[in-house]
Amino acid sequence: METPLIATPLHNRLREGLARMGVALRSDDWLRARDAGLNPTQMTILEALEGRENGLSVTEIALNLGVSQPSATDSINALERKGYVVKQPVPGDRRAVTVCITDAGRQSFLTGDAVEGAADQAIRALSEAEQADLLISLIKMIRHMQEAGVIPVQRMCASCRYFRPFVHADKTRPHQCDFVNASFGQRDLRIECREHETAPPLSRAATWEAFQGGLSTLHAT
């Protein structure tokens, strides 16, 4: 019989836990999408387009979804029929289009996004400190997948040209966002920011090193 003394490796159990959360999140996605009159894939496309004035190409949307281009095109066409996105021609390239969210699409997305699911409730049941720690762990995991090329660069502070980590002495607000020219704290780090602009790879690496170094110092004090 398996006991805690001969348990499976910690990283395996974490994956098991994340898989359980994944099930809850998928179920929440269905609820959100249903309230918005969409399916989860369409909802994810609207989420990716929200806040992007210049829209996204079909290739970028497919990368965000982790699906093939034909599959992304089917969902985009369905959203276009509902009037939730528009396709705009790309100057100088007759075959390319940019997909942009419409006001109706934004309203639909916001309706679904307002629904609180079981996973939301579970996250809110954690203490403030636990939530902040979880945020850092998620940022590290997402960044790892991003740099490994498994997922596209995400709109999070860690990859943003405006992010300057641990440049302020104030431990409650050590980071600087140059976009709004303001300091902010660990718990305010973004995973999805509409003002995000991707930093060049070398600069991203240097920022990440500074971020990691700041975290180590923070934990040592």
Binding residues vs ligand SF4 (CB under 6 A): 157, 160, 162-163, 177, 179, 190, 193, 195-196
State in angstroms the smallest separation of the CB of 140 from ligand SF4: 16
Between 72 and 157, whose beta carbon lies closer to ligand SF4? Answer: 157
Which residue number, 82 or 162, has a Cβ lying nearer to ligand SF4?
A: 162
Please give the Cα distance from 217 to 87 (Å, whole number): 48
Least distance to ligand SF4, CB of residue 218, Å: 18
Q: Which residues of 82-119 are buried (b: 16+ CB within 10 A; e: fewer)?
A: eebbeeeeeeeeeeebbbbbbeebeebbeebeeeebeb
Sequence-ordered strand ranges (E) for the chain = 56-57, 85-90, 93-101, 163-164, 175-177, 182-184
Query: What is the smallest separation between the CB atom of 56 and ligand SF4, expressed in angstroms?
Result: 17
Q: Which is nearer to ligand SF4, 79 or 153 (CB)?
A: 153
CB of 9 to ligand SF4, least distance (A): 34
Q: Confirm if 28 and 119 have CB atoms less than 8 A apart.
A: yes
Token pair of 209, please? 């090193």
Which CB sits closer to ligand SF4, 36 or 193? 193
Token representation of residue 119: 């996973």
